Homo-oligomer: A and B are copies of this chain.
Amino acid sequence: MPNVILLSPDKDEYQRLIESAHLPDLELITDPARADVALGAPKSIRNALPALSKLKWAQSIYAGVEPLVDPAQRRDYVLTNARGVFGELMSEYVFGYLLFLEKRMLERIQAQGAHQWQRTESGVLRGKTIGLFGVGSIGEHLAGTAKHFGMRVKGFTRASETSTQVDTYYHGDDILKFAEGLDYLVSVLPRTQGTNKLVDEALLNALPDRAIFVNVGRGNSVDEAALAKALTDGKIAAAVLDVFEQEPVPTDHPFWTTPNLYMTYHTSAISYPEDITKLFVENYHRYIEGKPLKHIVDFERGY
């Protein structure tokens, strides 16, 4: 009889959802010492790790699991993360912001304030080229939306070429070739050693000056000083950032006032208990049947 502990700020909602799923043999408990299974936020699970002496499986409610893949932490259990649920939300965010910029919405609002019938032309997504930094389940969903809008898709990955929605793949040393001619560069990279400051001065210089950079992955992949400079110097047209090296961003950080930089606050894809519970239910059935779980994290790789 698996004893499951909930370690999330949305604990009550998870309890309601899991109880209504009537999972066989499952018992919800609150004593970490008795828990075989934990469902929760990576940070909360990490804080509870010393007490989770019987832990066999932890399901993260987020995609990013940095607190748990930290080499200082235990790795004697199976960690699964949330995948396949954030693609839709990320698509809404990414294409929403690209359209916000292409349709020049702020200019239209300003014209309205001035009672001005402003017939300047809008930009379009159709026919543009988007480059995806990372093509896992989120990147694949973004590629599908780009295709829906009639765009060309370039993908940069470590090695995998799984999505058929990507027109051309790039790897390793081809990073500057990947950047060439991009209208939009979107990073969905996880935080790992291998992703540190991939978006640096050389890459920003390789982008056309019309390019828009969007980061919905992790802040470590960006050389923030180089990005602020590229925007200030007009080397690229705009940036939309949901993630940062340090969060919350310090109040004296240059990004708050960098021109053509649009900040959001790590809100591009919220973790909805309904979505995560579906993942958990599927994995729970696999767990009690002794089958391999889905979305297992490779502690070494970091995602």
Contacts and interface: CB of A to CB of B under 8 A. Distances in A.
A97 B118 CA distance: 17
Nearest to A122: B267
Given A93-B103, A103-B96, A115-B251, A121 B267 contact: yes
A184 to B, nearest CB: 14
A266 interface: yes
Interface stretch (A17-25, A145-153, A189-197, A276-284): A145-153
A108 interface: yes
Task: Report, as a range, how many residues of chain A touch the other chain.
Answer: 35 or more
Contacts of A251: 115
Nearest to A123: B92
B262 A108 contact: yes
Contact of A270 (B91, B108, B118, B122): B122
Interface string A242-278: 0000011101000010000011111110100000000
B149 A117 contact: no
Specify how many copies of this chain sit in the oligomer. 2
A126 B265 contact: no
A121 B270 contact: yes
Nearest to A261: B112
A86 B245 CA distance: 41
Contacts of A29: none
A288 interface: no
Contact of A263 (B108, B126, B264): B108
Contact of A266 (B115, B119, B149, B256): B119
Report, nearest first, the 5 A-B pairs whose CB atoms are least far apart: A96-B99, A117-B248, A115-B251, A115-B256, A112-B263
19 contacts: A88-B126, A91-B149, A92-B99, A95-B95, A96-B96, A96-B100, A96-B105, A97-B99, A103-B264, A112-B262, A112-B263, A115-B251, A117-B248, A117-B249, A118-B265, A119-B265, A120-B267, A121-B270, A145-B148
Interface of A: 88-89, 91-93, 95-97, 99-100, 102-103, 105-106, 108-109, 111-112, 115, 117-122, 124-126, 144-145, 148-150, 247-249, 251, 256, 262-268, 270
